[in-house]
Chains A and B, each alone.
Chain A
Amino acid sequence: MSHHQRPLSPYMLGQAYRFQLTSVMSFLHRISGIFLSIGALGLAWWLMAVAQGGDAYATVAECLASPLGMIALAGLSLSLVYHLLNGIRHLLWDAGHGMEIPEVYRSGYVVAALTVVLTAVIWFFAMRGGA
């Protein structure tokens, strides 16, 4: 039966189904959510280290300041801002606002632009404070 050859979401994206702003942003919401869930475990680890102090805190601080740590922080901050803004977009939909297709695209572009701007602003202040 050809039944088994049907393209399934999300693997159909980009193959049987054209990429759209809406589907890509929906997918990114999940990806960023997964990434943030892992990052939340890092937050618990950081809090425990702050509570313990001494070597435990020094180890965490060293990890965060390493190139890999900085890449993780950059990814997490971008994910957090995106998930927050797109989450607000979802909450507005839940309240019944902006559900017409042109509005959905407009809010999508607003979220994408604000994500880049806000993340840049956060890193500007973080670098200024840390320098």
Chain B
Amino acid sequence: MSTQRVGKAEGPVEFRTPLKRARGLGSAKSGTGHFWWQRVTAVALVPLVAWFIGTMVSLVGADLATVQAAIARPWNAIVFALFVVALFWHAKLGMQVVIEDYVHTRWLEITLQLVVIFLCAFAALASLYAIARIALLA
């Protein structure tokens, strides 16, 4: 067995086998996860986006009370909530791939990935809160 060292040349001797070190890393258990959920959210978004466009067009020029009443309708509120969850999930998955493909400076890549995850989570939560507030209070 070759004497590999953990980290730098002066680091402690590595006793684990290459297989042991590889296990649990990489895509061994989640390889198709990203691909699959990108497609699941895409399929969900096809009718949801069509519904969203129709709803937005119908609300052009409407006053605040009309907009609130439209979102507050029970099925509209549910569908809108589904839409924002699928939307921000899909956006996170898509932006992740774009960053992986084009940003090759490691610290910048990690930073951008964190920004995307935090922004998508924050915006999704804010949207759900707003929809619930409109539906329950408006």
Partners in one complex: yes
> Measuring CB to CB, which residues of chain A are less than 8 angstroms from any residue of chain B?
10, 30, 33-34, 36-37, 40-41, 43-44, 47-48, 50-51, 53, 57, 77, 80-81, 84, 87-88, 90-91, 94, 122, 125-127, 129-131
How many A-B pairs with Cβ below 8 Å?
Answer: 89
A–B pairs, 19, beta carbons within 8 Å: A30-B98, A33-B94, A34-B95, A34-B98, A36-B91, A37-B95, A40-B87, A44-B123, A47-B127, A48-B127, A48-B129, A51-B130, A80-B49, A81-B53, A91-B42, A126-B57, A126-B60, A129-B57, A130-B61
A interface majority secondary structure: helix
Chain A residues closer than 8 Å to B49, beta-carbon distance: 80, 84
Q: 3 nearest interchain CB pairs?
A: A130-B61, A47-B130, A44-B123
Partner of B126, one of A47, A53, A80, A91: A47
B interface majority secondary structure: helix
Partner of A129, one of B61, B71, B98, B127: B61
> What number of B residues sit within 8 Å (CB to CB) of A?
37
